[in-house]
Amino acid sequence: MITNPPNQRSLRGHMPQRTSPRAATSAEHHANLARHLQPRDLWLARMLHEHKVLTSHQIAALAWPSVRAANLRLLQLYRWRMVDRWQPFVTSGSAPMHYVLDTAGAVAVAREAGLDPADLDYRRDREMGRAYSLRLAHTTGVNSVFAALVNRARHHHDLTVAAWWSETRCNRLFGDVVRPDGYGRVTSRGHDAEWFLEFDFGTETLTTLANKLARYEKLATTTGIATPVLVWLPSTRRETGARAALLRALQALDQPHLVPVATTATDVVAPDRALDPSATRWQALTPATSARLDLIDLTLGWPTSSPATTPTSSTPPAPPGPLAAPPPMPPPQPNYPLSRSGTR
């Protein structure tokens, strides 16, 4: 028999106080946010709108000095309803927190781009519904590859990430022909390298993967631009089978030289660089070779390699969004010093 039942208040877990949904869209709330939001906060909101889901580790790799510093700021952005979050279930250990754009963040992205929030095509229930999406692991996998590339560029000044387009943006631009998982462009050692990414998660047959090359050939023929296709495989065993299927599909094309292809696998490099696309890990499909190269050396042998162009610093990049021209990825903001409250 329970003689001393606990107080109901003591059964409540700790929940950070958040702005109400009604207040998150009010002019007063956004006027108040204007004096609290740092440029890096608005940049993160644009990144979440572009790439849909980013984990706390990816966000830290993109623009923060450490995961702890990122988590401190993300907690404040969560309270202001700039971002929303959830933690997926895993069978062992704990998954990192996953972040999506929240109501106040969507309004900020729209206003900064000169748009009405209704024109942003944002729905909070759809963003939070990504927690149950069967493509969540694929989306975070693609974003992990590019986040590792940006993190590498932050610490090595000879590498610059000029563009990172999401699957959504690629589909909006090329979806009538081909649907890549992402597009990237880097500058290093006086040369540019650009590519489409096909991130294979082992959920489709190798025949389906190889048949995509015909669509890339059609895109190159239509646009007059031969863009390399980099295929990321989960293991070297699957990479071996994929290379054979891709080679057969490439040889069946009318103009195979328009579709330069290279492959890699997650386990071909050391674990600390397993998701870093700038590592020496890429193996060209043709000409046949066993040598693995980095991104720049790989593309130097292809007809698409070109001298680097110096971007003009006077024109700031436009925020990702429903704009006519897709802008390059904005550079990560510099690390801010610690404030008196201990946040960055």
Report long-range pairs for 65-71 (Cβ below 8 Å, ≥24 apart). 65/335, 65/344, 69/343, 69/344, 71/97
Q: Judge contact between 250 and 287, C-beta under 8 A.
A: no
**According to DSSP H, which parts of the chain are helical?**
21-24, 27-33, 39-51, 56-63, 67-79, 103-112, 124-128, 136-155, 167-174, 206-223, 236-251, 295-300
pLDDT tens digits for range 101-128: 999 999 999 999 999 988 998 999 999 9
Rounded to 5°, the CA angle 49-51-57 comes to 110
Per residue in 312-336, pLDDT tens? 333 333 333 333 333 344 444 444 3
The whole-number pLDDT of residue 5 equals 61
Give the residue-averaged pLDDT of 55-62.
96
Beta pairing, strands 98-101 & 83-86: antiparallel
The pair of structure tokens assigned to 259 is 């579709």
Distance between CA 239 and CA 269 in Å, rounded?
14
- Residue 325's SS3 state is coil
Q: Tens digit of pLDDT for each residue in 145-182?
A: 999 999 999 998 889 999 999 999 999 999 999 999 99
pTM: 0.83
pLDDT at residue 1 tops 80: no
Let me know: does 216 contact 248? Beta carbons within 8 Å: no
Helix (H) or strand (E) holding 194: strand 191-199
